[in-house]
Amino acid sequence: MAVCLFFIGTRMKALSDLLAVILFFATYMLTKDMILATAVALVIGVVQAAAAYWKHKKLDTMQWVGLILIVVMGGATILLKDDRFIMWKPTALFWVGALLLLGSHLAGKNGLKAAMGKELKLSDGVWRKLTYAWVGFLIFMGLANIFVFQNFSKDQWVSYKLFGSTGLMIVFVIGQGLYLSRHLPQEE
């Protein structure tokens, strides 16, 4: 039950986060203009961050990272009219996430446990394995993004960003849920 509640809450946040990607995708597919699509994603990203800050009076670390990356890399894409900046953004986001998770773990504070420990009661060993799984997955996702944008067309990269990347994330989260279900305390 705890896993279900956690993933429902996570899913609602993920749907909100996915809005910028969906609007980026729709704008690009309708106009074939990466600069305009980036501007849409940048505006939506800033509005979402502002709304989250207004509602919760704070942004979590990854929200700050995402905001900074969309402003810097999206801004560079728009100002320099160079698509490569926005195409590198997912890799940068994935790898910063991996570095933060690994860094917090090596510093003795498990970032996943800090973020989800209130919802999930797990042993330190399970938290450690989850952290390593996420770090590996995020590194893989960054590499996959590079592979796609360097070897395929812009249209294919934009489609991968919405469908491929999101699909891989969903498969990983389902696998994580299956793994977690074996390690949660049994409810009476």
Q: Are 115 and 62 in contact (CB under 8 A)?
A: no
- pLDDT band per the 50, 70, 90 thresholds, residue 61: confident
Q: Which residue in 49, 50, 75 sits closest to 63, CA to CA?
A: 49
In this prediction, residue 14 has a pLDDT band, given cuts at 50, 70 and 90, of low
Residue 56 inside a domain? The answer is no
Please indicate, yes or no, if residue 46 is contained in any of the structural domains.
no
Count up the domains in the chain and report the number: 1
Residue 120 has pLDDT above 60, yes or no: yes
Report the pLDDT value the prediction gives residue 157, as an integer from 0 to 100. 97
Asked if the structure places residue 60 within a domain, the reply is no
- How far is residue 148's CA from residue 130's CA, in Å, rounded to a whole number? 26
pLDDT at 5: 38
Average of per-residue pLDDT values in the chain: 88
Q: What domain range includes position 25?
A: 2-33+90-181
* Domain presence at residue 139: yes
pLDDT of residue 47: 94
* Angle in degrees, 0-180, between the axes of helices 34-56 and 2-31, rounded to the nearest 10: 150
29 belongs to a structural domain: yes
Among 84, 17, 12, CA closest to 45: 17
Q: Is residue 175 part of a domain?
A: yes
Confidence of residue 132 (pLDDT cuts 50, 70, 90): very high
CB 103 within 8 A of CB 95: no
- Are the CB atoms for 105 and 129 separated by under 8 Å? no
pLDDT band at 153 (very low <50, low <70, confident <90, very high): very high
Position 110 pLDDT exceeds 60: yes
Angle, helices 165-181 vs 124-151, to 10°: value is 170
pLDDT category at 19 given cuts 50, 70, 90 is confident
Q: What is the pTM of this model?
A: 0.84
Please tell me the distance from the alpha carbon of residue 100 to that of residue 107, in angstroms, as a whole number: 10
Phi, psi of 57 (to 5 degrees): 65, 20
**Residue 187 pLDDT grade (very low, low, confident, very high; cuts 50, 70, 90):** low
The answer for 185, left when phi > 0, alpha when psi is -120 to 50, beta otherwise, is beta
Phi, psi of 150 (to 5 degrees): -90, -20
